[in-house]
Every structure is written in C-alpha cells, then in structure tokens.
Amino acid sequence: MGKTMLAFQLHGARDLRAVELPRPEPGPGAVLVAIRRAGICGSDIHYFTHGKVGRFVPKRPFVLGHELAGEVVALGQGAAPSLLGARVAVDPSHPCGACRYCAVGRSNLCLNMRFLGSASCDPHLDGGFAEYVAVPARNCHILPAQVTWGAAALIEPLSVCLHALGRAGGLAGRAVLVTGGGTIGQLTALLARAAGAAPVILSDPDSFARETALRIGADATLDPQRPDFAEAVEAAAPDGIAVAFEASGAPAALAQAIALVERGGTIVQIGTLPPEVALPANDIMARELTLAGSFRFAAAFAPVLRLLQSGRLDVTPVISHVAPLAETGVAMAAAVARAGVIKAQLAAGEAASG
C-alpha cells in the first residue's frame, strides 16, 4: 500500500475533483478498509448539483460517499485480528451512544451524530469515493460469501428503506404507493413486497424507473404526470392506499400521496423536500392521516444482511451502472442525468467485475 490514495472531493456545486490524499491510518479500535464498491446516493447527487443537502452546507472540501463495502487491509490497536482480510459492509453512522436518543434506540436522531461523506457534522467525515477509508471496527459488518460487492454497497440504502417501513407499521395485506423510482423508491417497493404488502404501486415519470420497478416485483407502475393518475391508482388499489412512501422529494408527489391515502392512512416522508412545502393541514386533520418522517436508520444493517443472506431479496435490477473509481466524475454525470440509471456504483480493485 502506498502512502497516498486517489479520492474525489466536493469543492462546491458541480465541482467534484480527483485529488491525491494521504492514506488514512486506523486509530485504536479502527480498521482500514480498501473500498471495493461505493454507491452514488441521492444525497451525493444533491451535494454535487446544489452544493448542499437541505440544511447540511459544507464548510470545506470533503470526500462524498456513504454506501460502501470493501476489504479490511489493516488494523488499529485493539481491533480484532479476525477482521484482517474480511469482506465487510461499512455502516457510515457514528452515533455518540450517550445522548437521550441513543439511550432509547433512536441513534439515527443522535444529537452528536457523525456520518461518513456528509456535511451534517463538523469536521466533515470523508466518505467512500476513495481507495481507502478508516472506520471503527464496530461499523464493519462481515459479508456472507453469497453477498456480492454490488449488493453489499446497497445495504446502507436498504437500511434506510427498512427503517422507513418500520415508521409505517405492519404492511401485510395493505396497499402501498411509493412515489419516486430512484434507488430508495425501488428498494422500498422491494421491501414492502417482501413484508407482504399488496398491491405495491410505484409512480415515477421516467419509463426506465417504472420498468425496473416491475422487474423487482411491483404490482403496478404509473406515470404521476398522466391526467387520470388518481383514477389509475384507484383502479390498481380499489380498496384504497393504506400507506404511501414519498421517496422522490418532490412537493407534487407529497401532495399526491396525501390526497390518495385512505382515511386513517399513513404517509412516510423519506425524500428530501425543498425548505418550504405547503401542506393541506385541515385535510390531514379531518381524515386523521399520519404524516411520519423517516431519517437514515438505526440498527438496520444486521436485519438487512439476514434478508440478503436468505435469498429473499434480489437487488441486482437496481444496479444499473458500474464505473471504475477513476471515472467518478463520469458516473456522477450519469447519475444526475438519470437516463437508464437507477443506482450508479463505483468499483475498485477486484470489485471492478464482481
């Protein structure tokens, strides 16, 4: 291993630079992971296109990427020797473990959260658009042999979706509408189907996104821009929509979700919306709707790994674009353009073809 590494730093909106950085050294209780796959997330796209994500505004250049998997190649003092050489998925969350939210199992709301590849903490933590990352050993989840690098790099977004399902309550036998056919929408539909929801309907203006949703098991897909959208949803779910997952971050999609759920229904907001969004508060009140936020995840990596190991989830249709790490800029452009792309991933080392 050399003393430096290739990484891609965000310097501002539309300014993603290939740089040479010192290779990180794992401190006590940490390990050095050689990154094999890293996914480009919707938040990475927001950082790239807008220079920020909601209220998270970078104060200095940092390395994006929080969906990552790789091989442990060095150990810090106190890290278990058995981890050396292990294939791992990396949980990007660094909750403090001591605040009142951590104490009740809601570590995703930690008051002192640090998160890889995010400007939500200061100093920012460099993420996975690089050859190496040093992380606490406790953040590494050993991969079963049958879990590919591509699937491993989807464990983080799958965790986001599994957490969102938990915010909705039980889904068995309930009709679900997912608005937005990006990675989070696709994986939410996949997990809802696995949880017994029926029917599962996904809406997105993009035909490729709708086709992908049908391949992963959605019962119906619809273009939300069609003039008879509400009637089409009703035809696909005659008994009404019990739960809507808003995964697009579009105010119009949230308005559709609120309008279409049945009385007493639930809307789970996963996508990042613009700062000010009008809400039909009286309608929410009179129909006793529940509008729940869903932010990141807590303790979801292990159950997602069990689902992947069981063979119940086929996530391969979601991975639509894989590029070498050196072509991160090209891959980001493809993810932004979204033409024929759901999930773009970056590959390094042996993962370039696995």
Q: How many CB atoms lie within 10 A of CB 252?
A: 11
153/39 Cα distance (integer angstroms): 6
**Encoded tokens for 327:** 């072509």
Does 189 share its domain with 55? no
Residue 178 lies in a domain: yes
Using CB atoms within 10 Å of the CB of residue 292, give its burial: 0 to 12 exposed, 13 to 18 middle, 19+ buried. Answer: middle
Q: Which residues contact 310 (CB under 8 A, 6 or more apart)?
A: none
d(CA 164, CA 203): 17
165 and 149 within one domain: no
User: Starting at the edge strand that comes first in sequence, how are the strands of the sheet with 241-246 ordered?
Assistant: 220-222, 200-203, 176-179, 241-246, 261-269, 290-293
> Count of domains in the chain?
2
CA-derived radius of gyration, the chain: 20
Please indicate, yes or no, if residue 150 is contained in any of the structural domains. yes
CATH number at residue 255: 3.40.50.720
Sign of CA dihedral 274, 224, 151, 351: negative
244 plus 149 within the same structural domain: no
Structural domain boundaries enclosing 75: 4-154+315-352
Spell out the alpha helix ranges (H) of the chain.
42-50, 100-103, 149-152, 155-168, 183-194, 207-216, 229-236, 251-260, 281-286, 301-310, 328-337
* Domain presence at residue 307: no
**Preceding amide of 123 cis, omega within 30:** yes
- 3-class state of residue 40 by DSSP: coil
Q: Do 8 and 144 reside in the same domain of the chain?
A: yes
- Tally of CB atoms within 10 A around 64: 30
Q: What is the pLDDT of residue 276?
A: 85
Is the same domain home to 269 and 169? yes
Q: What is the pLDDT along the chain (354 residues), one digit of tens a residue?
A: 789 999 999 999 999 999 999 999 999 999 999 999 999 999 999 899 999 888 889 999 999 999 999 999 999 999 999 999 999 999 999 999 999 999 999 999 999 999 999 998 889 999 999 999 999 999 999 999 999 999 999 999 999 999 999 999 999 999 999 999 999 999 999 999 999 999 999 999 999 999 999 999 999 999 999 999 999 999 999 999 999 999 999 999 999 999 999 999 999 999 999 888 999 999 999 999 999 999 999 999 999 999 999 988 999 999 999 999 999 999 999 999 988 999 999 999 765 544
Sign of the alpha-carbon torsion through 261, 266, 271, 274:
positive
Buried b (16+ CB within 10 A) or exposed e, 71-81: bbebbbeebee
Q: Does residue 150 share a domain with residue 15? A: yes
- Ramachandran angles phi, psi of 125, nearest 5°: -100, 125
Q: Residue 40's domain is classified under what CATH number?
A: 3.90.180.10
Within-domain flag for 301: no
Q: Are 127 and 242 within one domain?
A: no
How far apart are the C-alpha atoms of 72 and 66, rounded to whole Å? 17
Residue 305 inside a domain? The answer is no
Residues 250 and 139 grouped into a single domain: no
Structure tokens at 191: 């997990």
Q: Which of 71, 215, 212, 88 is nearest to 147 (CA)?
A: 88
Is 208 a domain residue? yes
Q: Are 332 and 219 members of one domain? A: no
Count of residues making up the chain: 354
Query: What pLDDT score was predicted for residue 350?
Result: 61
Is 307 in contact with 283 (CB distance < 8 Å)? no
- Do residues 32 and 86 share a domain? yes
From the number of C-beta atoms within 10 Å of its C-beta (0-12, 13-18, 19+), residue 353 rates as: exposed
Separation between Cα atoms, residue 103 and residue 96, nearest integer Å: 10
Beta bridge partners of 267: 244, 291
> What single letter denotes the amino acid at residue 332?
M
**Within a domain: 325:** yes
Mark whether 149 and 201 lie in a shared domain.
Answer: no
- Which amino acid is residue 224, in one-letter code? P
Do the beta carbons of residue 135 and residue 27 sit within 8 Å? no
Are 92 and 66 a contacting pair, CB within 8 Å?
yes
Q: Is residue 171 part of a domain?
A: yes
The alpha carbon of 7 is separated from its chain's Cα centroid by a whole number of angstroms, namely 21
Are 48 and 94 in the same domain? yes
